[in-house]
Amino acid sequence: MLKKTPLAAGIAAFATILIAGGCAVADAGKTGKVDYTAMTPHELAEYLIFEANGGGFNLSQEMQEGGTARDRMQQDELQKACSIIGDGSPDAETAAAIRQAAQESIVYPEGGIQLGDWQRGRELAWSGFGYRVGHNYDDHDARPVGGTCYNCHQFATDRTGGNVGPGLTGYGKTRGTSDAILKYVYDMIYNPHVYFPCTHMPRFGASGFLDEQSIADIMAYMFDPESPVNE
């Protein structure tokens, strides 16, 4: 779902970030004598992830979304375009392509954007469970996947949130629930690159991280007048 999204076509033409070529690297691997110094940094990084001594990660582990760790480590076009050394911004052309591809990735619920159950949304916003792999694998049959929202945002102040992203305390109270603001928040959760190309925020809808119901519930936590976010 996330890997081969419509992003590819839009961005590929504009991306200025090197897409690490594997040809020279793979050939070197077959000879049994690999010269790291003959590779570009990008080629070597890819080689170290996927090839060196069987790979630098536990690549055969199965992922919750299907496929293996090897698949999850593959970058899609957005991830490639936004892997910028020094954490700078993409150039204007790339940014425009990212925004357009993000817009095309967003799927709206049938019947329009709805607010769900704020109490469930509150727990989902708090939960850091889901999609972690490696040494302590998240079993999605055991618990619902959370949104990890509090990692970076403050909501109701009875629980401590991070400040990597903007504070969202009182969000609905100060902004109302017009169609425009609901669409904005839905878009931001689904694929925030539509407004902020190469933002650090995950694409919770486009990646399949959160399902439609969970997005509706988290939005209710932000907008419902009864929610402690809006006290």
Partner 1 sequence: MFKKALLALPVALAMGATANAQAPEDVLQGLIDALPESIYLNQSEMNIMMMPDNPALWIAMDGEELFHTPRGPNNVSMEACDFGKGPGVLEGAYVELPRYFEDTGKVMDLETRIMHCMTEVQGFASDDPVVRNRHNNQSDHMQIQTYIAMQSNGMEWNNPLDHPLEKAMRDAGEVLFARRAGMSDFNCYACHGQSGKRVRASQLPNANVPEEWSKAISWPAFRVGHDHVRSSQHRVRGCYYQMRQPGMLAGSDASVALISYWTDLARGTPAILPDMKR
Contact residues toward partner 1 (CB under 8 A) are: 2, 36-37, 39, 41-42, 44-45, 48-49, 52-53, 55-59, 61, 65, 69, 72-75, 78-80, 82-87, 131-136, 148, 150-152, 160-164, 200, 202-203, 207-209
Backbone angles phi, psi at 68, to 5 degrees: -120, 175
For residue 168, give the amino acid letter: L
Closer to partner 1 by Cβ: residue 48 or 106: 48
Rounded alpha-carbon distances, angstroms, from residue 175 to 172, 180, 231: 5, 10, 13
Residue 170 Cβ, how far from partner 1 at the closest point, in Å?
20
Q: Which is nearer to partner 1, 31 or 37 (CB)?
A: 37
Closest separation between CB of residue 116 and partner 1, Å?
Answer: 22
Rounded least distance, CB 163 to partner 1, Å: 5
Q: How far apart are CA 106 and CA 29, in angstroms?
A: 40
**12 or 49, CB closer to partner 1?**
49
Question: Nearest distance from residue 3's CB to partner 1, in Å?
Answer: 10
How many Å apart are CA 134 and CA 171, to the nearest integer?
36
Estimate the crossing angle of helix 212-223 against helix 118-126, to 10 degrees: 100
Closer residue to partner 1, CB minimum distance, 43 or 217: 43
- Euclidean distance between CA atoms 6 and 191, whole angstroms: 13
Cα–Cα distance measured from residue 231 to residue 98, given in angstroms and rounded to the nearest whole number = 37
Which CB atom, from 119 or from 151, has the smaller least distance to partner 1?
151
